Each structure stands twice: as structure tokens, then as C-alpha cells.
A = this chain, B = another copy of it.
């Protein structure tokens, strides 16, 4: 599982305060904790309308002072992501492009010929498609553009867009997003499937339990990358357990190592 640590995000009130006050110690502490907890990328999102790039540079500098874990440059603006790439010491994750406007061209052009990876959301100018077939049409568009810019599938993390469970009706549950994941993975076995798993539990009580159950079901359908809090050690334990059950960890060696390293099971 590729873990994209979600905690350096200006939409989280405590982090917004740290960004506003340029409280470098807070940011560094969170970055260090995410790195120690096994994050593969540390997502950096300023979540600001004004001064976004300056804040991103400051955040990225903070993170890079305490860890070598690559950065996920995260902004709703593809142009901000392109600029933020320049602040990074090493290739990271471009978060994100989508079928909207010229985002695919701008983002893929920026990472073409580099080692950067990229998150592609399956939405377009019509919004978030309601059916699996329509999301897969956006996917086809993403892959056609990726080919044009010579971006190999294993550098692409497809986010099929996880929506809240509490409004699912007519026996649908999560079947649509699971179908999208399954079909994508069948077509491109080396592609990554990612998502913000906590979206699933919006408006429900005991969100962690819902997030955990969803993560297990999504992994079964091909999810191998996810945006979440790596300090949620129960979720990490369940991810290692699920990998063993899906046949990706013979004799539970990885599960046991992760446990011994304190990745889950013990408060560090």
C-alpha cells in the first residue's frame, strides 16, 4: 500500500492555524510523525485562495528539513502544482489532474520526462460522472493523454472518486466505485488505484470503522494507494492484514515486521 499522508492540509483547522502563524515547529513535527509512521508521500496542501504558492513553498521547505520522504504537491489548481514541483528536492507526486479543462495537458506536460508520479481524478467538465461507464470514459481520456506524453501506467494513481456511503440507495452500496476500480486494474495491472478513503464515512458516526471496512473492500478490488492519516495505526494494521489475506505477504512476514517496527499495535 502506497500511503499518502494527509495531515499537512490547510483544510484541517489546527494546520490552518500553523500555516497562518508560520509555525514551522508544528509542521515539522507532523511531517516527522507521518514519515516515521511509514508515509510514502507527504501531501502538502495549503488550502488558501490567496498566498497559496508562498504558503506551499514554506510548507515544503519545512517538510524537507526533517524528512527525505517525497512530497505530494496538492492543489485544486494544476498551475499551482506545476509551480510547487520546483520547490521539491526530488520527484514526488503531482496531486492532481483530471478530465477538466486543460488539466491533463498541463499536468502531464509538466511531469513528462521526469520521475514524478501523478494522481488523476475521474471527473471532467460535466462534474463527477454518476455511472461507472461514464467514469471509465474519463479514464480512457486520461490514458490516451498519458500515452501522448509518454507517462507509463505505473506512474499514474487513478482516483475513481470515493463518495459518501450514507446517501447510497437502491442496494447500490459501493458497487459502482468497486466496478470502476476492478475494470481499470484488469486493463492496466501496473496502474495504481488511489483515493481519499475517509470520504466514504462522511456524515456517519464512528467513521474509523467505516473507513477501515471500506479500505479492505477497496483493496480487494485493486486499491493500492490511498490518502489517509498514517498515524491511524489500526487502519495500517488492517492494511497489512489485508495484504496477507490477498496473497501479497507470504507467511505474514511483512505483517510481523510492521508490527515489530511499531507501525501498528503499539502507541509509539
Residues of A within 8 A of B (CB): 165-175, 200, 204-206, 209-210, 212-214, 216-217, 220, 234, 237-238, 241-242, 244-252, 255-256, 259, 264-265
Q: Is the interface of A mostly helix, strand, loop or mixed?
A: helix
20 more CB-based (< 8 A) A-B contacts, given A169-B251, A205-B256, A212-B213: A165-B241, A165-B245, A166-B252, A167-B251, A168-B250, A168-B252, A171-B247, A173-B245, A174-B246, A200-B245, A205-B259, A205-B265, A206-B237, A209-B234, A209-B264, A210-B241, A212-B216, A213-B241, A217-B220, A217-B245
User: In the bound complex, do residue A168 and residue B244 qualify as a contact, i.e. CB atoms below 8 Å apart?
Assistant: yes
Which residues of B sit under 8 angstroms from A246, Cβ to Cβ? 173-174
- 10 shortest interchain CB distances as A-B pairs: A173-B247, A209-B237, A171-B247, A216-B216, A213-B241, A210-B241, A206-B265, A174-B245, A213-B238, A173-B245
Interchain CB contact (< 8 A) of A238 among B212, B237, B248: B212
